[in-house]
Structure 1
Amino acid sequence: MECRRTIGQVVVPVFYDVDPSEVRHQTGEFGKAFRNLENRIAIEENKVPSEFGYVKRWKEELGDAAGISGVVVLNSRNESEAIKSIVENVTRLLDKTEMFVADNPVGVESRVQDMIQLLDLKLSNDVLLLGMWGMGGIGKTTIAKAIYNKIGRNFEGRSFLAHIREVWGQDAGQVYLQEQLLFDIDKETKTKIHNVESGKNILKERLRHKRVLLILDDVNKLHQLNALCGSHE
């Protein structure tokens, strides 16, 4: 739960044969079992439960977890179907965004470190835009992927949109890129965007209060940049 708060990791609670409200408030059979655990710890450590800071923390974390939309399995006659549903849900949400970078590509590591220093992540809370320009085949995408892999988990969300020039020219490609960006950042919600202009507004509202890393690969028009990351707001 701490990782969810600090770096935006996705949490999918599974409530097996227990109601989420009982977990949230430690009531019912779950609450009874929790109090038994407290008493057992108290006997073993010869302390009263109120002295256990970690028990209080458990209660708070369980309460927070129970408030998240998760999977509830109550009196399930077909547990295999429930397991299949959970696996599908987790697979969909799983962060599979690590970019493949060939081992030790010549000259990449030093350039990656230079770029990361330019971003100055620890000292700045500003919106930063950093562009890489040059002829094709000199390693811009490889450097971008390596940067993404190295610093991506320091952000609440991240997205690497590849082949923007190519996708932009396809039918509904512009809206597809906006929808993909939103899903990468907030995997718990799939947003349907009807046109580019409404997509701009949705992106602005969703991203303005988050610390996110966006890497846009192969941008060749300014309006592509405006549609996908907008202004410094």
Structure 2
Amino acid sequence: MTSDSLHILVVDDDARLRALLQRYLVQNGYLVSVAADAGEARRALSHIQFDLIVLDVMLPDKDGIELTGELRRELDVPILLLTARGEPEDRIAGLERGADDYLVKPFEPRELLLRVTTILRRVRPSRGAAPGGSGVVRFGPFSFDPDALELRRGEEPINLTNGEAALLRILCMQPDQPISRAELGARSRISGSDRAVDVQIVRLRRKIEDDSKQPRYLLTMRGAGYVLRTKG
């Protein structure tokens, strides 16, 4: 994947940070637009199709987590949240509203670039990567490529957030075997509490189950954790 044609929207009311991130991302080959608040972001989104949004939680005119929820209902664009609040409950709130990832301030620009690259690699897999390789795990009508982090229902790709893809990859590595919440949290990039894992599981079920309250594939094993059923 090349970054030259990918367009990122940076939304932050800190003018210095906004300029720093714009300059750094442009130097690394991205197209970058900026907005100082939710209103400016909305105006930009109304006439430009972005590949990713970097969104500060503390905006002057609207809470960034609230805006994330609104955007997720309208758009399929990945969202990376920036937050000065590092408490697990704040991070969980962002994930619940549909954020793909979060980064706690202060951070190094290189770390943000890594997060951006990881998200875009996942949602825009290499054109040369064909589904159906030997490592693909199948369950029901679904197939998951753990290398490309690509989920498909038949031939239709299904968008996953970073957290959802990380969990599904771990579950696919041990299909039909229960994995505890603690292990899932430790092996994935999800941290903070068992609830953070539960939030991602709920969201993942909504994408792979006909009835997320009566799952057929992603099951809860009382006292043992979660299991991905691929047999039967």
Q: TM-score, normalised by structure 1?
A: 0.31
Name the structure, 1 or 2, with higher relative contact order (CA <8 Å, separation 6+). Answer: 1
Report the structure, 1 or 2, having the larger strand content.
2
Report the structure, 1 or 2, having the larger helix content.
1
Larger Rg: 1
Q: TM-score, normalised by structure 2?
A: 0.31
